[in-house]
Amino acid sequence: MADAGLHTLQTSTPQEGFELALKLSRMGVKYTQPSAEVRDRLRKDYEDDADALIATSQVVAINFQTIAAANDYWRGAR
């Protein structure tokens, strides 16, 4: 995965920031488990697991916090 297309954390809007947080979360999974076949097989283990889904949401939220900070909470809109 030489170039995953992530060049900046700067976004124009909070919505773009949230979408970037989702992308970062997916990229983290792909770096951790590069095999799409294995990821697809493992998905069955967590797709109906409420605890796993909550943990996923937490990862996205942490990534969104990072992006929000990098964008000065969208340039002073606090």
Count the domains in the chain. Answer: 1
Q: What is the CA radius of gyration of the chain?
A: 14
Distance CA 65, CA 21 (A): 9
- Tell whether 4 is covered by a domain: no
* Residue 71 lies inside a defined structural domain of this protein: yes
38 within a domain of the structure (yes/no): yes
Mean pLDDT of 52-63: 96
Q: What pLDDT, on the 0 to 100 scale, is given for residue 38?
A: 97
Q: For residue 21, is it within any domain?
A: yes
Residue 7 confidence (pLDDT): 87
pLDDT at 2 exceeding the cut of 70: no
- Examine residue 64 and state whether it is found in any structural domain, yes or no: yes
pLDDT in tens, 8-57: 999 999 999 999 999 999 999 999 999 999 999 999 999 999 999 999 99
Classify residue 1: in a domain, yes or no. no
* 8 within some domain: no
pTM for this predicted structure = 0.82
**Domain enclosing residue 62, as ranges:** 14-76
